[in-house]
Chain A
Amino acid sequence: MTRPTTIERKLTTGNEAIAEGAIQAGCRFYAGYPITPQNELCEYMARHMPEVGGTFIQSESEIAAINMVFGAAVAGARAMTSSSSPGISLKQEGISYIAACELPAVISNMMRGGPGLGNVWPAQSDYFQATKGGGHGDYHLIVLAPATVQEAFDMTKEAFDLADRYRNPVMILGDGILGQMMESFEMKPAKTRQPSRKKDYILDGCKGRKPRVIQSLFLEEGMLERLNDKLQAKYRRIERELVRYEELNTNDADLILVAYGSSSRIARAVMRDARVKGLKIGFFRPMTLWPFPTEAMRKLAKPKRAFLVIEMSAGQMVEDVRLSIEGRAPVYFYGRSGGGIPSEEAVFAEVRKALKKARSKVK
């Protein structure tokens, strides 16, 4: 992929769009270990990182990769790693450390079927891991959920800015469909981004200034709690400032389909089809999974309205939907797992079932 000087339409995979987005965002350090379905990302980085004077490392393991990213972030680089589900599990200790040290980093996870080594087909079963911590301790990642190749590209660029703004790791959470599919998208002229503020915390040699320390071990009484209070205050700020979602045809909807990422595209197709058939179906898509659009969902919970959550998992995001709605409306779920993909036909059948169940509840 060449970097254009005018807006150009490109046909590329989600994985490559993420890699190119990262390079354009000023990412100059990438470490990763190959795993399907995200190898195109590593491959792209291997080929193109040297062109911009950046560093590409195929590490000896996923654990090594996240710790290299940890080190690069300490030194002030815009740094990234990527993997798919089993590999992301391996990275959790490092991610917890990066969150504790309040360092910026971007992690891409193109989810595949699990648990265990699983398979190489698309899944969304790492939602809990991504949004509820994953590693140990009270921390959060910012989790962005692109649904198209365009968004994969745009959100990756933004991820680096968010990571710097909040000094927090950001995860791009996609799946095997998004990673491997090719789709036409618009690439705007490249402009290498830079952090808006000077990084006044990095360890880049202390000659002429006071030494700095970056650490996540706090044994003195009360110190670790103070760190946690500070982190929680930051997380509340992120919740206020960063929530993103897309909402379509919700005003008159009897039933609202809720989905993110690739399954949201199936839900969107079903919503369109259902509207043509005269059914009042709406569509809600969280674009940030953490922070979750809790308030926006709560406002949609009205009498005589139901929700149907579609996921490629046994039911994970549905828990956040239920927490948001707090029993004000029925919330139904349909999912496939282990690499299964919901068909439009099956989702449509679930829509009809949910409408029927919701109506019988109203009576």
Chain B
Amino acid sequence: MAIKQKTIDEQIIVAGFGGQGVMLLGKIIAQAGMLSGLDVTWIPKYGAEVRGGTAHCMVRVSNLEIASPLVDFPNSLIVMNKLSMDKFERLLRKGGIMIVNSSLVDSRATRSDIRSYYVPANRIASEIGDVRGANMVALGAYLKARPFLKIEKIVEALRDILPSYHHKYIPLNEKALSEGARLVEGRS
């Protein structure tokens, strides 16, 4: 596998409101990473409130043994709301990528030493049929910008993580992933 030749050391923060599926998004990345034979860690951080409060998770995926599971300075950032962008943009490493849910964030990145992708995740997910797929649109965009995991592994991870009574939504999730990827296509 050519993808394994390089050092993979993804340090990701996924952030948003509680209820936007940011924890699940991080878990799917971690599960897909593990299914690809990589070392992975996932740490949740949320307030006492769940729905509506701010939440983020730290995910690390590496082809080397992960020493610390904590992410002080991410090299990839997925922000699903404005508050999260305000909080985490400054922590992003130079040259890192930021996926911005432009349906809920009306401002642009303040830094020029990072690569930002504006993805109207809520709008696209609604058009596909369910706004709850916004996280998958963002994930599709992220993996297009940073192709270190195969989409098949993401789908496999969805099957592992989602309870079986939700498996009927997997095709919808796949559609959301590919729509997200399409938005990033040809851009750098």
CB contact list, B4-28 vs A, under 8 A: 27
Chain A 58-77 near chain B by CB (<8 Å), digits 1 or 0: 00000000000000000000
CB contact list, A180-195 vs B, under 8 A: 180-184
| Interface presence of B42 (CB below 8 A) | yes
Minimum CB distance partner of A177 in chain B: B43
In the complex, A133→B69 CA distance in Å?
31
In the complex, A344→B70 CA distance in Å?
9
* B69 cross-chain contacts in A, Cβ below 8 A: 177, 181, 183, 265
Chain B 37-64 near chain A by CB (<8 Å), digits 1 or 0: 0011111100010000000000000000
| Interface presence of A279 (CB below 8 A) | no
| Interface presence of A221 (CB below 8 A) | no
Q: In which size bucket is the chain A interface?
A: 10 to 19
Q: Is the CB of B30 within 8 A of A182?
A: yes
CB contact list, A310-360 vs B, under 8 A: 341, 343-345
Q: Is the CB of B42 within 8 A of A183?
A: yes
Minimum CB distance partner of A271 in chain B: B67
Minimum CB distance partner of A345 in chain B: B72
| Interface presence of A11 (CB below 8 A) | yes
* A272 cross-chain contacts in B, Cβ below 8 A: 67
In the complex, A87→B41 CA distance in Å?
27
In the complex, A280→B67 CA distance in Å?
18
Q: In which size bucket is the chain B interface?
A: 10 to 19
Q: A11: which of B31, B43, B44 is its contact (CB, 8 Å)? A: B31
| Interface presence of A266 (CB below 8 A) | yes
In the complex, A266→B70 CA distance in Å?
8
| Interface presence of B114 (CB below 8 A) | no
Given A177-B43, A180-B43, A183-B42: A268 touches B30 (CB 8 Å cut-off): no
The minimal Cβ–Cβ distance linking B56 to chain A, given in whole angstroms, is 13
* B39 cross-chain contacts in A, Cβ below 8 A: 184
* A268 cross-chain contacts in B, Cβ below 8 A: 67-68
Minimum CB distance partner of B32 in chain A: A11
Minimum CB distance partner of B33 in chain A: A184
Minimum CB distance partner of B59 in chain A: A182
Q: Is the CB of B48 within 8 A of A269?
A: no
Q: Is the CB of B67 within 8 A of A11?
A: no
* A265 cross-chain contacts in B, Cβ below 8 A: 67-70
The minimal Cβ–Cβ distance linking B23 to chain A, given in whole angstroms, is 10
* A226 cross-chain contacts in B, Cβ below 8 A: none
| Interface presence of A202 (CB below 8 A) | no
| Interface presence of B34 (CB below 8 A) | yes
Given A180-B43, A181-B42, A182-B42: A269 touches B34 (CB 8 Å cut-off): no
Minimum CB distance partner of B42 in chain A: A182
Q: Is the CB of B67 within 8 A of A183?
A: no
Chain A 298-318 near chain B by CB (<8 Å), digits 1 or 0: 000000000000000000000
21 A-B contact pairs sorted by A residue (CB < 8 Å): A11-B27, A11-B34, A11-B40, A177-B43, A177-B69, A177-B70, A180-B44, A181-B42, A181-B43, A181-B69, A182-B27, A182-B40, A184-B33, A184-B39, A265-B68, A266-B68, A269-B68, A341-B70, A343-B72, A344-B68, A345-B72
* 8 closest A-B pairs by CB: A269-B67, A269-B68, A182-B42, A184-B34, A268-B67, A181-B43, A265-B68, A343-B72
A interface residues with partner B (beta carbon < 8 Å): 9, 11, 120, 177, 180-184, 265-266, 268-269, 272, 341, 343-345
